Amino acid sequence: MDLFANLWLGLSTAMTPVNLLYALMGVFLGTAIGVLPGLGPAATIAMLLPATFAMPPVTALIMLAGIFYGAQYGGSTTAILVNLPGETSSVVTAIDGYQMARQGKAGRALAVAALASFFAGTVCTLLIALFAPPLAEVALKFGPAEYFSLMVLGLIASIVLANGSILHALGMIILGLLLGLIGTDVNSGAQRYTFGLPELADGIGFVTVAMGMFGIGEIIANLEHESTRDVSIKEVKGLWPTRDDFKRSIGPTLRGTALGSVLGILPGGGASLAAFGAYALEKKVSPNRHEFGKGAIEGVAAPESANNAGAQMSFIPMLTLGIPANPVMALMIGAMIIQGVQPGPSVMNEQPALFWGLIVSMWLGNLMLLVLNLPLIGMWVKMITIPYRYLFPAILVFCAIGVFSLNNATFDVYFMALFGVIGYVFKKLDCEPAPLLLGFILGPMMEEFLRRALLLSKGDPMVLVTRPISATMLALAGILLCLVLLPAFSKTREEAFQEE
Amino acid sequence: MLRIRAEKDFWAGLLYVLLAAGFLWFGRDYKMGAASRMGPGYFPLTLGWILFGFGAISVVRSFLTDGPVIGGVAWKKLAIITAAILAFAILLPKFGLIFALPALVLLSSLASEQSEYDLKSLLALVGLVAFCIIVFVKGLGVPMPIFGSLFDGIVPPSWQR
C-alpha cells in the first residue's frame, strides 16, 4: 500500500542521525521557549531561520517544526505548575491544571497533559499522511484563479481568529500585501517603492519583518507590563497517573483530538481555538463537570490533546497548498522558499523524502517530547524562574545578530528596529501582527496568480466566480466575513478572547 | 462638535490612510496596464485605494461609535529599545562586537525597572559576548568584526574576524 511505502520513506529520512539530532534540538528548544515567558515560537523560529540556511531543506524544516510543537508542550508545563500559560493555546489548561498542582497532583496533571498530547500527535500524524495526498492531488488541478481565491479565503480566515476589530485586521492584511510588493516587480522588472536603495531591490526580508514585529514588538509590550513574578513551585512528585485518571482522560482526549483535528485545518491559528473549544465541550458533556475549575483531570486532557492536534493539523494547508494557517507556518513557508523549495501541492511529488520525512519526524518528535519532558521536569521548573530582565537583552542580541547574518549587512538591523516600532504601535491600536505577516508572504504570490488568471481570461474578472472551485472559495470567504460581522458571532468571539 | 469616541479606531484608521496615501503617491507613476496585462502599478495601486478606504471608514466610525481608549503608551521603553538596536547597528562596523553587544545589552536594560547592575549581571554580559563571538563569528562564520575597522592595524587580524 502507498501509505506504508510513504511512511517508510519518511521513516528512513527522519531516522538519519543528523535529522534525529535536529529534531531533538528543535523539540528541546521549543519546550524551552514554551516554558520561558514572553518568547513565542514565531519569534524563536524567526531568530533561528538564518542558522538553518546552511542545512539541507528537510533538516531545517524538521527542526523548525520541532520548535513549534515543542512549544505547545512547554507552554502547558508552566500553565500547570505556576498558572502562567507559556502560549495562548495552553491558557485553558491553566484553569484546572493549576488547581491540580495546588492539590499536590502536579505530576499527574503533567503526565496526563503529555500523554494526551502524544496521543493527539500520533493520530494527527496518521491523519496528515492519509489526507494530505488526496488534497494535494486536488490542488494540483488548481489554476491561477483557484489559487488567488484560495489565498483570499486564507487571509479572510486568518482574521476570524485575530484579536480585535475586523476592520483593523483587514487593514493589516492589505498593508502586509503592500509591503510584500516592495522590491523588483518580477513581471516587468520595474522597481517598486525601493526609493533607489539597492538593498530593497529584493524586497524587505520577511525574517526582518517577523523578527521586528514578533520579536522586538513583543519585548516592548512585555516590558510595559513588567511585573515581579512570584514563582514558588512545590516539588513535583508522583508522575504516574492513577488508573482512575486514565479512565477519566480517555473520553476527553478522544473528543479533544477530534475537535482539534477539525479546527486545526482552519487558517488563523487553530491550536488556541481548539483548546478553548475542547474545554467548553467537556464542560457540557463530562459527568464530572461540577469539578471543572477545581482541578478536574478532564480539564487538562481535553485542551492539551486539542491544542496539539490543532498545531499538528495546521501543517496540512501549509504542506499541500502552500498556504500558511498561522505565523509559524508562514515562517516555515519562508524557510522553504529560502531553501529553494517552491511550497505547494507539487512538494509531495517532487520532494517525497522532504514531505514524508517531515511528517514522520513530527511523530518521532512527539515521542521525544514524551520521553524528554517528564524526567526533565526539574530543569524546566528551574527555567521558569529565570527573570525576564535577564532574558530580554539576550533575545535582543540574538535577534540583532540573526537579522544581520541574513545579508551580512546592518541595513536589515535598521529595518528590524523600524518594524519593531511599527509592531508595537499597531499592537497598541489592537492591530495584530499575524494578518500582516500572512499578507506579506502572500502578496507577491497573489499578484502573480491574479495576473495570470486575468491574462488567461483576457482581462475578465468574472473568471474568479465562473470557475466553480474558485467561486466556492470566494463564497466561503464571503460567508466567513459575514459571520464574523454578525453581532451574535462577534460576541462569542470577543468572549473567547476575554478569557485569555 | 465632533469628538473622537473610539481612540484606537481613529489612530489606526489615520495610520492606514497615511500609509495608503504614501503607497499611492510614490506609486503614482507606476504603469497600470490593463486587466489582461497588469502593469507594475495595477496591484499595489488597487490595494492602496482599498487600504485608504478601510482607514477612512475606521476614522469616520471613530466619531460615531464608542470604542476602547488607548491607555498608556510606553514611548520611553519603545525609544530605549529602538535606540539600543540602532546603537548596535551603528557601532558594529567601526567598533566591532566587543563594543556593539554591550551597548545593545546595557542600553536595552534601561527599559526595565528591574534591571540590576551587580557582579552577576556583569558576568552574564561577559558570558553572552563570549558566547556570541565563539558561536556566531568563529563557529558559524557570520562576518561580524570582533574589533571593527577603527582597530585596523592595531589589533591582530585574527581578533577582528
pLDDT in tens, B104-117: 999 999 988 878 88
| Grid cell for residue A350 | 517532487
Q: Which residue has the cell 488534497?
A: A135
Which residue type sits at A55?
Answer: M
| Grid cell for residue A117 | 498530547
Residue B82 confidence (pLDDT): 94
> Is B1 part of the contact surface with chain A (CB cutoff 8 Å)?
no
Mean pLDDT across B11-37: 91
CA distances from A210 to A169, A283, A397 (A): 17, 37, 16
Residue A243 confidence (pLDDT): 81
Among the listed residues A499, A465, A92, A135, the one whose alpha carbon sits nearest the alpha carbon of residue A305 = A92
Among the listed residues A31, A44, A5, A65, the one whose alpha carbon sits nearest the alpha carbon of residue A364 = A65
Give the whole-angstrom CA distance, residue A207 versus residue A378.
Answer: 34
- Distance to chain A for B47, nearest Cα, Å: 6
Q: Does the beta-carbon distance from B43 to A450 stay under 8 Å?
A: yes
A165: CB partners within 8 A, 6+ apart: A430, B8, B9, B12, B58
Residue of B nearest to A447 (CA): B43
Partners of B121 on chain A (C-beta within 8 Å) are: 390
| Grid cell for residue A181 | 510588493
B36: CB partners within 8 A, 6+ apart: A454, A455, A457, A458, A459
ipTM of the complex: 0.92
pLDDT class for B55, splitting at 50, 70, 90? very high
| Grid cell for residue A79 | 500553565
pLDDT class for B15, splitting at 50, 70, 90? very high
The torsion region of residue B62 among left (phi > 0), alpha (psi -120 to 50) and beta comes to alpha
Show the DSSP H helices in A83-191 as ranges: 91-102, 106-140, 144-160, 166-181
| Grid cell for residue A460 | 475578465
Partners of A187 on chain B (C-beta within 8 Å) are: 38, 40
Would you say the pTM of this structure is higher than 0.90?
no
As for how many domains chain A has, the answer is 1
Residue of B nearest to A175 (CA): B51
Q: Does the beta-carbon distance from B112 to A223 stay under 8 Å?
A: yes
Q: Which secondary structure element, helix H or strand E, spans residue A28, and what is its range?
A: helix A17-35
Residue B107 confidence (pLDDT): 93
**pLDDT digit string (tens) for chain A, length 500 residues:** 577 888 888 888 888 999 999 999 999 988 888 887 667 788 888 888 887 888 888 999 999 999 988 888 888 888 888 777 766 777 888 888 888 888 888 888 888 888 898 999 899 988 888 888 888 888 888 888 988 998 888 888 777 666 667 888 899 999 999 999 999 888 888 889 988 888 888 888 888 898 898 888 888 888 887 665 555 666 666 667 778 888 888 888 999 899 888 887 766 556 777 888 888 888 888 888 788 888 888 888 999 999 888 888 888 888 888 877 777 888 888 888 888 888 888 888 888 888 899 988 988 988 998 887 777 877 887 777 778 888 889 889 988 988 888 888 889 999 999 999 999 999 888 888 888 888 888 888 899 999 999 998 888 888 888 888 899 889 988 888 887 777 655 555 555 555 44
What does chain B look like in DSSP terms, one character per residue? ----S-HHHHHHHHHHHHHHHHHHHHTTTS--EETTEE-TTHHHHHHHHHHHHHHHHHHHHHHHS---------HHHHHHHHHHHHHHHHHHHHH-HHHHHHHHHHHHHTT-TT---SHHHHHHHHHHHHHHIIIIIIIS-----SS-GGGTTTS-HHHH-
Q: Using CB atoms, pick whichever of B37, B88, B114 lies closest to residue A455.
A: B37
Residue of A nearest to B8 (CA): A429
The torsion region of residue A238 among left (phi > 0), alpha (psi -120 to 50) and beta comes to left
Q: Which secondary structure element, helix H or strand E, spans residue A70, and what is its range?
A: helix A57-82
- Distance to chain B for A456, nearest Cα, Å: 8
Q: Report whether pLDDT(B81) > 90.
A: yes
> Is B95 part of the contact surface with chain A (CB cutoff 8 Å)?
no
Q: Report whether pLDDT(B40) > 60.
A: yes
Domain span including residue A356: 2-498
B77: CB partners within 8 A, 6+ apart: A220, A223, A224, B111
| Grid cell for residue A414 | 535598521
Partners of A167 on chain B (C-beta within 8 Å) are: 9, 54, 57-58, 61
Residue B23 confidence (pLDDT): 94
Residue A499 confidence (pLDDT): 45
Partners of B115 on chain A (C-beta within 8 Å) are: 389
Residue A500 confidence (pLDDT): 41
Residue A475 confidence (pLDDT): 92
Cβ neighbours of A351 (radius 10 Å)? 17
User: What value does the mean pLDDT of chain B take?
Assistant: 88
Residue B45 confidence (pLDDT): 93
Q: Using CB atoms, pick whichever of B12, B73, B144 lies closest to residue A168.
A: B12
Reduced to 3 states, what is the DSSP secondary structure of residue A439?
A: helix
Partners of B19 on chain A (C-beta within 8 Å) are: 175, 178
Q: Which of residues 105-124 of B touch A (CB under 8 A)?
A: 105, 108-109, 111-116, 121, 124
- Most confident segment among A483-487, B44-48, B135-139: B44-48
Q: Does the beta-carbon distance from B44 to A458 stay under 8 Å?
A: no
